Amino acid sequence: MTQRGRATRPTGRPRGAAGPRGGDLAARRDRLRAVIEPVVNDAGYDLEDLSVSRAGRRHVVRVMVDTDGGIDLDAVADVSRAVSAALDAAEETGGDIVAGEYQLEVSSPGVDRPLTLPRHWRRNVGRLVKVTARGAAALPGQRGEQPAGDRQLTGRVVAADDEGVHLETDDGRAAWAYAQLGPGRVQVEFTRLAELGEPDDEVDDADDSDEIDDSDDIDDEDDVEDEER
């Protein structure tokens, strides 16, 4: 299985005042998405998440990308360079995209990333997942009657397509439509990782995929504030 990775790249230039404290982060995120998403898609990846937050006197721009089969550290670094170049070009032609100094962080999803889209489930076939199933009729072919009300399921993803997912639970295999399921959460199986010979970095990524790089030039007097996702 492909090792997950992340890359942190300081970028942006001081351009005077960084704008009002706690400014419109949502608007900045929209401007960033308009520049970043085409670059990520052209590189053959999906933009899974984009956020911008304040850290002291600078902004931190976090970009999360993924693809079928996963993305390794070299690919993350390539995407980081391409996104950085696109942001620089956009600022040269259209003014400040972020407003002030910023730091770019590009990463791939860790195992703690919730499964909310069909492609997320497809990319986790073979993994053990915990999910809330809503009381609704199952897809054709599901065995047995499902009781009304929500309940927690833990099962292995055995198949997934655009319509739904097949889970293997203690009660057997069942098919569920995505509308019946809440966000799925991958369960880390340490014994299974050891059996498969997977690198430890895959597990570590669940802990550090969302960390902020504590660079010396981020002011200690201000904490990260008002992150908008």
Residue 102 pairs in a beta bridge with: 11, 59
pLDDT band at 7 (very low <50, low <70, confident <90, very high): low
Domain extent, residue 146, equals: 118-186
Given 110, 131, 157, the domain boundary residue is 110
**Are 35 and 124 contained in the same domain?**
no
- Above 60 in pLDDT, residue 100? yes
pTM comes to 0.65
pLDDT band at 192 (very low <50, low <70, confident <90, very high): low
**Are 103 and 152 contained in the same domain?**
no
Identify the residue with better confidence: 26 or 5. 26
Element (H, E) at 2: none
Structure tokens at 158: 């055995």
Question: CA–CA separation, 50 vs 228, rounded Å?
Answer: 9
pLDDT recorded at residue 93: 86
* CA distance between the termini of the chain: 29
Q: Is residue 12 part of a domain?
A: yes
Across the range 113-130, mean pLDDT stands at 95
Question: CA–CA separation, 62 vs 90, rounded Å?
Answer: 17
Q: Is residue 205 part of a domain?
A: no
pLDDT band at 112 (very low <50, low <70, confident <90, very high): confident
pLDDT recorded at residue 197: 54
CATH of the domain at 141: 2.30.30
pLDDT recorded at residue 154: 95
Q: By mean pLDDT, which of 14-28, 148-162, 212-226 is the weakest?
A: 212-226
- As for how many domains the chain has, the answer is 2
- Above 60 in pLDDT, residue 113? yes
**Are 100 and 124 contained in the same domain?**
no
Question: CA–CA separation, 191 vs 42, rounded Å?
Answer: 38
CATH of the domain at 56: 3.30.300.70
Q: Is residue 166 part of a domain?
A: yes
pLDDT recorded at residue 36: 96
Tell me 179's DSSP state: G
pLDDT recorded at residue 55: 83
Given 55, 78, 110, the domain boundary residue is 110
Q: Yes or no: say if 117 and 182 are a contact pair by the CB < 8 Å rule.
A: no
